[in-house]
């Protein structure tokens, strides 16, 4: 019985260690926290994901922050109850340093909400992020989100 319990504990610990050593899993975990907090309009929970000196750019004109006050204003404008909803689609990430305390990530997101005409609108977002391991957990040091430019239309086909 003791061996079975020890084997189970070892497997759980090994699984957690692998997830903690996977930069994409780390980025996804922080991204999921952002998604839940922002969609709920919980500005303080979103701000807790950022370092105090984070550099942040959201897609809207003038949406950049280098101070805590600028970031609070920007997050408050973006993460409102009834506002746009964000869905994390996936991450590609790498370790930036050899001791695994800095992650560089490319995130794919979708934002849905109401367009200026009142009709439903869905847009793809991409994010370039730098996450830093702190005593309080993983935090965004850099977060730059932008809307992708739609691909050009296909060239006209010659008539047959």
Per-residue pLDDT of the chain (160 residues; tens, 9 = 90+): 555 444 444 443 434 444 568 999 999 999 999 999 999 999 999 999 999 999 999 988 889 999 999 999 999 999 998 889 999 999 999 999 999 999 999 999 999 998 888 889 899 999 999 999 999 999 999 999 998 777 788 888 888 7
Q: What is the predicted pLDDT for the residue at 158? A: 84
Q: What is the predicted pLDDT for the residue at 19? A: 52
What tokens were used for 120?
Answer: 């439903």
From residue 133, give the alpha-carbon distance in Å to each of 21, 72, 106: 12, 22, 17
Measured between alpha carbons, how far is 50 from 108 in angstroms, rounded to an integer?
19
Q: What is the predicted pLDDT for the residue at 72? A: 97
Measured between alpha carbons, how far is 4 from 6 in angstroms, rounded to an integer?
5
Its pTM stands at 0.80
Measured between alpha carbons, how far is 71 from 24 in angstroms, rounded to an integer?
25
Q: What is the predicted pLDDT for the residue at 81? A: 86
Q: What is the predicted pLDDT for the residue at 4? A: 46
Measured between alpha carbons, how far is 33 from 45 in angstroms, rounded to an integer?
8
CATH says 2-147 is which class?
alpha beta
Q: What is the predicted pLDDT for the residue at 6? A: 41
Assess contact for 129 and 142: CB atoms under 8 A. Answer: yes
Measured between alpha carbons, how far is 141 from 66 in angstroms, rounded to an integer?
11
Q: What is the predicted pLDDT for the residue at 116? A: 82
Residue 140 sits at the vertex; the CA angle it makes with 134 and 142, to the nearest 5 degrees, is 125
Assess contact for 111 and 122: CB atoms under 8 A. Answer: yes
Element (H, E) at 29: helix 23-39
Locate the domains of the chain by residue range: 2-147
Q: What is the predicted pLDDT for the residue at 2? A: 54
Residues 116-144, buried b or exposed e (16+ Cβ, 10 A)? eeeeeeeeebebebbbbbeeeebbbbbbe
């Amino acid at each position: 019985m003791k061996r079975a319990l020890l084997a189970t504990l070892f497997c759980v610990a090994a699984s957690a260690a692998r997830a903690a050593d996977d930069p994409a899993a780390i980025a996804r975990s922080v991204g999921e926290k952002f998604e839940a907090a922002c969609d709920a309009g919980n500005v303080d929970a979103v701000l807790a994901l950022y370092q105090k000196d984070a550099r942040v750019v959201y897609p809207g004109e003038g949406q950049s922050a280098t101070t805590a006050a600028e970031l609070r204003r920007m997050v408050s404008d973006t993460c409102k109850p009834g506002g746009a909803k964000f869905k994390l689609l996936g991450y590609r990430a790498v370790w930036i340093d050899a001791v695994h305390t800095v992650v560089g990530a490319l995130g794919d997101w979708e934002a849905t909400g109401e367009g200026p005409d009142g009709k439903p609108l869905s847009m793809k977002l991409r994010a370039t992020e730098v996450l830093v391991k702190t005593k309080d957990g993983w935090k965004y040091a850099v977060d730059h989100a932008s809307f992708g430019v739609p691909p050009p239309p296909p060239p006209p086909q010659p008539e047959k």
